[in-house]
Amino acid sequence: MTEMMKQIVLASRPTGAPTPENFRMEEAPVPTPGDGEVLVRVHYMSLDPYMRGRMDDAKSYAANIPVDGKMEGGSVGEIIASNAKGFEVGDFVMGGFGWATHSVAPAAGLAKIDPNAAPITYALGVLGMPGLTGWYGLTELGKPKAGETLVVAAATGPVGSMVGQIAKSMGLRTVGIAGGPEKCKMAKEHFGFDECIDHYAFDTAEALRAEIKAACPKGIDIYFENVGGKVLEAVIPLMNPFGRIPICGMIAWYNEGGLGADAIEKGLTAPKLWRTILVNFLSVNGFIISNHWDRMGDFHKAVGPMIADGSVKVQEDITEGLENAPEAFIKLLTGGNTGKAIVKVI
């Protein structure tokens, strides 16, 4: 009898926020690895905001998921069959296995994981793509200096929390922005932010700006941009001359296919933004972390010991069951997760 696997595919392209109807669970025969390939049983898979952009039929930095195609994303799992030298049955690996219980992949594109060194879920968060994003964006593009002030939104997420903790260890004042009093409490008590502001408590960018200004009496030197929307509009006028803005995402606008209508309605027009960048000599750098995988070793050397000694703390939000991945992903896009969003597949 043929062994079967399960996978979640893109049933239809979303208009605005994704709904459960945009996803479909399917069964298929477990594939057989070819030469140089391995078959992996997926244990955990990552949920990340960038996946929303892959669901659209629009030009981007990576190919979009076709309708009826498997939802894509990073996962960790155990090799259960191998036709690749140096990769044995029982090895744990990380790769782009997608939303599925099993996957065949070329071994050349996989990274081995030592399950005895750290929980394997860390490869999807604090020691994986999100952690690298925060570390690289802050240290290489933010160019932090002791005594400066940093602001980062989504402060309890895997990127924002890494940014805040690394900045704090370098002697910066760290101000987080998060959704809700519980997340703000976590940002301060668990991740060590000096202050955290609940953006849900403010209806307008102007009101949020006043609160951020009070928390940043010396202005803002680094704004790590991963949200966009109301937060960006609130922060921009508070940037100090020669401030730096690394940009890794804009989750507030993902469901609108890019620059959201709310930005225009609330006054963040291109001329206004451009002038602010000009007259304050701001450095604004967009980056996609997949262009910097070569820095993963440097990242692990710098941050691995900090995780081991507890100076960088971890928060994971694990959902049980592949079938619950769409609901967890929809929650992620509206800030419903607390920490790194992960699905336990088996």
Terminal-to-terminal C-alpha distance of the chain: 21
Does residue 309 sit within a domain?
Answer: no
Do 193 and 73 have their domain in common?
A: no
Q: What is the pLDDT of residue 303?
A: 96
Do 205 and 321 have their domain in common?
A: no
Do 119 and 138 have their domain in common?
A: no
Contacts of range 89-92, beta carbons closer than 8 Å, 24 or more positions apart = 92/43, 92/120
Q: What is the pLDDT of residue 272?
A: 77
Do 262 and 274 have their domain in common?
A: yes
Helix (H), strand (E) at residue 75: strand 75-82
Question: What's the structural domain count of the chain?
Answer: 2
Q: What is the pLDDT of residue 271?
A: 76
Q: What is the pLDDT of residue 268?
A: 54
For 177-235, the pLDDT digits (tens) are: 999 999 999 999 999 999 999 999 999 999 999 999 999 999 999 999 998 888 999 99
Does residue 302 sit within a domain?
Answer: no
Does residue 295 sit within a domain?
Answer: no
Do 332 and 241 have their domain in common?
A: no
| Token pair in block for residue 157 | 């997420």
Does residue 76 sit within a domain?
Answer: yes
Does residue 110 sit within a domain?
Answer: yes
Q: Give the distance from CA 106 to its chain's centroid.
A: 25
Do 203 and 136 have their domain in common?
A: yes
Does residue 216 sit within a domain?
Answer: yes
Do 100 and 215 have their domain in common?
A: no
CATH of the domain at 339: 3.90.180.10
CATH of the domain at 208: 3.40.50.720
Q: What is the pLDDT of residue 243?
A: 98
10 Å Cβ neighbour count for 335? Answer: 19
Sites in the chain below the pLDDT cut of 70: 1, 252-270
- Asked if residue 98 lies in contact with residue 72, where contact means CB atoms within 8 angstroms, the answer is yes
Q: What is the pLDDT of residue 1?
A: 52
Q: What is the pLDDT of residue 33?
A: 97
Helix (H), strand (E) at residue 152: strand 149-153
Could you give the angle at which helices 296-308 and 129-136 cross, rounded to 10 degrees? 100
Does residue 307 sit within a domain?
Answer: no
Do 146 and 280 have their domain in common?
A: yes
Do 79 and 160 have their domain in common?
A: no
- Helix, strand, or coil (residue 56): coil
Q: 312: closest CA among 231, 191, 219, 220?
A: 191
For residue 66, the enclosing domain spans 4-125+315-344
- Helix, strand, or coil (residue 311): coil
Q: What is the pLDDT of residue 263?
A: 45
| Token pair in block for residue 7 | 């996978």
Do 135 and 121 have their domain in common?
A: no
Q: What is the pLDDT of residue 260?
A: 46
User: Which residue reads 């890794």 in tokens?
Assistant: 248
User: Which residue reads 């699905």 in tokens?
Assistant: 343
Do 140 and 284 have their domain in common?
A: yes
Does residue 82 sit within a domain?
Answer: yes
Do 274 and 165 have their domain in common?
A: yes
Whole-angstrom distance, CA of residue 114 vs CA of residue 93 = 8
Dihedral pair phi/psi, residue 80, rounded to 5° = -115, -10
| Token pair in block for residue 342 | 């992960």
Q: What is the pLDDT of residue 293?
A: 93
